[in-house]
Amino acid sequence: MRPPLILLSLLLPFSLLPRAHGRGELRAFVVAHSHMDVGWVYTVQESMHAYAANVYTSVVEELMKGKQRKFIAVEQEFFRLWWDAVATDMHKQQVHQLLQEGRLEFVIGGQVMHDEAVTLIDDQILQLTEGHGFLYETFGIRPQFSWHVDPFGASATTPTVFALAGFNAHLISRIDYDLKADMQKNKKLQFVWQGSSSLSERQEIFTHVMDQYSYCTPSQIPFSNRSGFYWNGIATFPDPPKDGVYPNMSLPVTDTNIHLYAQTMVANIKERAAWFRTSDVLWPWGCDKQFFNASVQYSNMDLLLDYINKHSDEFGVTVEYATVGDYFQAVYSRNLTWEIRDSQDFLPYSTEPFQAWTGFYTSRSTLKGIARRASSLLYAGESFFTQYVWKHPASSICKCGALRQLQSLRWAVSEVQHHDGITGTESPKVKDMYMNNLMYGMFNVKKLIASIILDMNNAKKNRDVYSSVYVKDSGIPGATDVDQYVVVYNPLAWNITTFVTVSVSHLAMSVYDELGHSVPAQVQRSAESHSTYDLHILVEISGLSYRKYNVKPLNGKQSAFIGRSVKYKRKDITRADQQSQQLLPVTNNCYQILFDQTTNIMHSITERETNRTVQLTQEFLEYHVNGDVMKGPISDNYLFAPNASAVPVSKAVGLEVVSGNLMTEIRQYFYSNVTSQDYIYAVYTRMYTVPEGYDGKLLCHRIEQEYSVGPLELNREAVLRTSTSLNTGQLLYTDSNGYQIQKRPFKAYVNNTVARNYYPMVQTAYIEDDTTRLMLLAERAHGVSSQGNGQVEVMLHRRLWNNLQWDLNYNLTLNDSSVVRPVIWLILGTKAVTSVLYRISGLALEHRPVVMFGVLSGDKPKLRGQLQQNSIHNSHVTVPPNLHLQTLSIPGWRYSSNHAEQVRSIRMGKQKESDADFSRVLLRIRHLYEVGEDPVLSQPVTVNLKSLLKGLGSVMAVEERSLTGTWNVNALKRWKWKTAQYPSKGFSNSTETSENCIVTVHPKEIRTFFVYFQGQ
């Protein structure tokens, strides 16, 4: 969403503007760029056809015509589509030449310009790695600067990711309007950002915040009613105009207006110079969908820059075409001392008092959920395939085809991280594009996992293995009198004990493991369907391993436990008599939850170890929002603008408790009144009781909740508010991209206080008092807030329509009539206990086991000795509990990890010939804890990579790399910017490197390696 900027200064007469500060000449860096959304209003295909392909074709051709001309390219998805399908051999040669000459510069270099508020760090890294791998393989270049000009607020995780990727400087734009004004006035738009408090100066990065004009060229010019500096006009959809005449093309530069153009440009350069400490001025030239006709752009700007430089004495300014790197190099060489910013982020983001961009934290919840599921399936598929390649060298599966299946999901998950993708701020057809690409990629990876299982079990090829990721998609198909197998893969590098759920058509079932031993399970009628049952199987699986379970219709004795249901009468909560309170207890080894039977609502939770009881109630409320711009501020895809406090939605609650030996499920149904036929909201709360002999610590300590919300009425925003007796002082904590925690004190504003106190929860949020903490863990992003002492509310769903013409023109009104089913896990306990549990539990929720089912014929129970064959389910990979195996994959890149060699082979044209490289394994290990967070788990951890990976084969060599793999860490020398803390400028080496495959990982580090195994 790009609100118009009010550019009063451009209308001032030139003589009234200050001269160049008395610091000698100002030097303006004119950075030509086109902001190309990978999605948003138009699909990628529509954009390629209407303008994006023309941008690269015409820019490359025009850069060749003038040695002084330059351009920056940002999003790789469009560039790669152009390179593969449009560019001629001549264009490709020219791109290589322009890169060598430094006149074309790739900045960021990821597939997209990722959103910063609602994305997971793993997915930020994935999309960056995808783009960087292509650029290094194709050109031997490695981006070193960011250009994060459009994400809606700035996270502290992104600068850390960019520093780890080897960037020398970071650039952002959208931060709170009042904060930007203040920083501008005090010349504080540039600083050194220590995005991670634990990594501090080791991964700090110089950061530039764009001034109030942001990334678009100021377009109002005093001598014309057309825009200025946009000589190619505005892109048209669906087709480019046949006559080449576009709407709103700026007046061509002529002898009669060149002085007026020059005055306007110089005035703007001087205005901006006053907001920065050096006489170097960044002057972005471009905006959304620009440079589709680069010829008319450059031919006009050439004249203008020449004119200003010929009269530089008069103007006090010189101007030049530049890249972002040129600008930062100039600022760096000034050798100034910069202020340090700590790990505080720039969220939330407001553009004016009633425009808080906090609605998108929840917009299109279904897309947010599918994007995360796709990411998790990709994570599982990558490690499953990597193990298969190294353990089964003589496999029957085509490795190149398998890699293409994984690449289709890598591409789709990368694409949706775009700042108008996972944010939910796109038009419906673009949402459909993301969904289709994600579903296609997920289908491919499920197919790959199934074919690997079939191959390793030597199953007959005419039998299908069906797959279901997180189980609710489908059940065991077909006949019920045949032995059915459930294959469960644990994608985490820890041993897990958890439940998986499959739908079955009978109540009487038995479950057996590979040895024919009975496995604990519970079956009960499904909450969602009257004709099926949910079979919950207790699984115990080593790290990165799979197990097979045999599910049979009952043959007598060892059946699954049956969950028994008790339904309670629907209660009118408006007339509840608090005097005659009757409390219904539901208990496991960790918690006792009491439900108030006069209302059927949760009353309190007791944490049994400390015997601490917290009063805790949950209710659904809705914010009613305005959709008429004539009546005040509106909510839309981006903005949240409530016109009053949230209103409770239900007057009556129904309750059903399904209890069995392994789990109890409490089903609450919320009705608009006592006589309503249909409920609008439901909560399914699950508590587990783990039998003796199983490690039930994580299962016991979590209260799982699944919600059903919708369809909503128009202009309603639905929240779940949890109110507790904790004395929190309205202090909330939320995670930043699943990487670190941010403190969120409640702030009072003159206007819009509710919306401006909403924050993104990507994975975690919590409230606490002196002794006790209540944690919420999520499997998709939500907006979250603490609007009262002891309260935390999570926005679950939004449905909006408004009459703002801009929203209507682009179909951005968010009329989302879906039913959403998000999941949140609650953990209650002491700070010490919860800080140990929540990181592992958050990852256990993110990466739930992959469940596949089907008929594997002729498979009899094995003897224990037979299980030790060469397969994925015995050679597990396990890391210590404070580390996370973040990546284990075969990228398939064909580049040499020796930089000189890589550059040489590109110059000789050898790159094109080779096939995908299956010998290089990409490994990332992340330390989960902050410095000082836990006395034990915050310690550095030493890992022997050879013994960690011995299950895959014999490790021959390990190279430590930068985050996206393109730098050898020993060769990576990032610019060290001067600060009061570190007065000398220079280069910083990122990390101590590993010797003999033994690595020490410090708090919050993410270490990246290429691993090579002995060939088999």
Integer Cα distance of 526 and 449 in angstroms: 27
33: pLDDT confidence band, cut at 50, 70 and 90? very high
Length of the chain: 1016
Which tokens sit at 592?
């006792």
Average pLDDT over residues 644-656: 96
Higher-confidence position of 993 and 136: 136
Q: What does the pLDDT look like over 345-363, one tens digit per residue?
A: 999 999 999 999 999 999 9
Q: Is 513 helix (H, G, I), strand (E, B) or coil?
A: coil
Give CA separation, 620 vs 354, 432, 649, 794, 796, in Å. 25, 29, 6, 10, 10
Closest CA to 70 of 109, 31, 97, 28: 31
Q: How many CB atoms lie within 10 A of CB 248?
A: 12
For residues 750-762, average pLDDT: 96
- Tokens at residue 685, please? 């709360």
pLDDT at position 201:
86
How far apart are the C-alpha atoms of 284 and 823, rounded to whole Å?
43
Q: Is 922 helix (H, G, I), strand (E, B) or coil?
A: strand
Catalytic residue among 122, 150, 420, 636: 150
Strand, coil or helix: what is 118? coil
**pLDDT above 80: residue 7:** no
Cα 503 to chain center, whole Å?
Answer: 30
pLDDT tens readout for residues 943-986: 999 999 999 999 999 999 999 999 999 999 999 999 988 877 66
CA 487, CA 853: separation in Å to the nearest integer?
A: 6
Give the angle 733-734-738 at the CA atoms, nearest 5°: 140
Residue 868's pLDDT band (cuts 50, 70, 90): very low
Kind plus residue range of the DSSP H or E element containing 714: none
> Side chain identity at 161, as an amino acid letter?
V
Cβ neighbour number for residue 471 with a 10 Å cutoff? 23
Which two tokens mark 422?
A: 């996972």
* Residue whose entry in the numeric block shows the structure tokens 């101590």: 992
pLDDT given for residue 200 in this prediction = 84
| Whether the predicted pLDDT of 531 surpasses 90 | no
SS3 3: coil
Q: How confident is the model at residue 994 (pLDDT cuts 50, 70, 90)?
A: low
**Do residues 531 and 628 touch, judged by C-beta distance below 8 A?**
no
Amino acid at 232: N
Q: How far does Cα 25 stand from its chain's mean position?
A: 43
150 is catalytic: yes
Q: Closest by alpha carbon to 684, among 823, 777, 784?
A: 823
> What pTM was estimated for this model as a whole?
0.95
- Residue 874 has a pLDDT of 58
Contact status, residue 504 vs residue 476, Cβ threshold 8 Å: yes
- Residue 550's CB: how many other CB atoms inside 10 A? 19
Dist. CA 725–CA 608, nearest whole Å: 17
Strands annotated E in 505-628: 509-512, 521-525, 533-541, 545-553, 561-562, 564-572, 583-587, 591-596, 601-607, 612-624
Distance in angstroms (rounded) separating the CA atoms of residues 967 and 902? 12
Task: Please report where in the chains the tokens 């699950």 appear, as a residue.
Answer: 686
Residue 192 and residue 168 in contact, taking contact as beta carbons nearer than 8 Å? no
Q: What is the pLDDT of residue 986?
A: 67
Q: Which two tokens stand for residue 736?
A: 């930043």
> How does pLDDT run across 774-785, given as a tens digit for each residue?
999 999 999 999
Query: Residue 717 and residue 621: Cα distance in Å, rounded?
Result: 8
Residue type, 185: K
The share of the chain scoring above pLDDT 90, in percent, equals 84
* Element spanning 853, H or E: strand 850-854
Over residues 243-275, the pLDDT tens digits come to 999 999 999 999 999 999 999 999 999 999 999
Selected residue with higher pLDDT from 279 and 981? 279
Q: CA-to-CA distance for 545 and 877, rounded, in angstroms?
A: 8
9-23, 499-513, 716-730: which is most confident:
716-730
Output the pLDDT for position 577: 72
Which residues make Cβ contacts (< 8 Å) with residue 834, sequence separation at least 6? Answer: 766, 773, 775, 827, 828
Whether the Cβ atoms of residue 455 and residue 397 lie closer than 8 Å to each other: yes
Q: Residue 251 phi/psi, 5° resolution? A: -60, 130
Which residue bears the tokens 């419906």? 428
pLDDT for residue 882 is more than 50: yes
With beta carbons less than 8 A apart as the criterion, state whether 526 and 533 touch.
yes
Report whether 350 contacts 179 (CB < 8 A): no
Digit-coded pLDDT (tens) for 91-115: 999 999 999 999 999 999 999 999 9
> Cβ contacts of residue 90 below 8 Å, gap of 6+?
none
Evaluate whether 118 touches 423 at the Cβ level (below 8 Å): yes
3-state SS class at 730: coil
Asked if residue 862 has pLDDT above 80, the reply is no
Q: Tell me what pLDDT residue 14 has.
A: 42
pLDDT at 796: 98
Q: Rounded mean pLDDT of the chain?
A: 91
Helical (H) or strand (E) element with 317: strand 317-322
Quick one: which of 961, 923, 929 has its CA closest to 943?
Answer: 923
Residues 439-457 have a mean pLDDT of 93
Q: Output the six-digit token pair for 928.
A: 């989960």
Amino acid identity of 41? V
Instruction: Name the β-bridge partners of 104.
Output: 71
Per residue in 61-82, pLDDT (tens digit) is 999 999 999 999 999 999 999 9
CB 123 within 8 A of CB 375: yes
Distance CA 255, CA 65 (A): 23
pLDDT at 476: 52
pLDDT surpassing 90 at residue 489: yes
- State the pLDDT confidence band at 1015, using cuts at 50, 70 and 90: confident
Instruction: Please give the Cα distance from 859 to 865 (Å, whole number).
Output: 16
With a CB cutoff of 8 Å and minimum separation 6, the contacts of 193 are: 156, 159, 170, 204, 205, 206, 207, 340, 341
Cα–Cα–Cα angle for 288, 291, 295, nearest 5°? 160
Residues 6+ apart with CB under 8 A from 343: 156, 194, 195, 196, 197, 740, 742
Residue 24 banded pLDDT, cuts 50, 70, 90? low
Q: In the chain, how long is the greatest CA-to-CA distance? A: 98
Model confidence at 16, in pLDDT bands (50, 70, 90)? very low
Q: How many CB atoms lie within 10 A of CB 293?
A: 22
Closest to 889 measured CA to CA, from 860, 850, 907, 916: 916
Residue 197 has phi, psi (to 5 degrees) of -65, -30
Question: Predicted confidence band at 458 (pLDDT cuts at 50, 70, 90)?
Answer: confident
Integer angstrom CA distances of residue 62 from 56, 66, 70: 10, 7, 9
Query: What are the residues whose beta carbons fall under 8 Å from the beta carbon of 773, sequence distance 6 or more?
Result: 766, 767, 828, 829, 830, 831, 834, 835
Half-sphere exposure of 571 (CA within 13 A, CB side): 20
Q: Which has the closest alpha carbon to 596: 539, 650, 666?
A: 666
Q: Which residues contact 122 (CB under 8 A, 6 or more apart)?
A: 375, 379, 738, 886, 887
Cα distances (Å, whole numbers) of residue 83 to 263, 440, 1010? 39, 23, 28
Look up tokens 């620009």; give the residue: 290
Instruction: Note the pLDDT tens digit of each residue in 553-584.
Output: 876 566 789 999 999 999 999 887 766 779 99
For residue 288, report the phi and psi dihedrals to the nearest 5 degrees.
-65, 135
Over residues 367-392, the pLDDT tens digits come to 999 999 999 999 999 999 999 999 88
Tens digit of each residue's pLDDT (9 = 90 or more) over 408-442: 999 999 999 999 999 999 999 999 999 999 999 99
pLDDT at 112: 98
Q: What integer pLDDT is reported at residue 462 of this predicted model?
A: 44
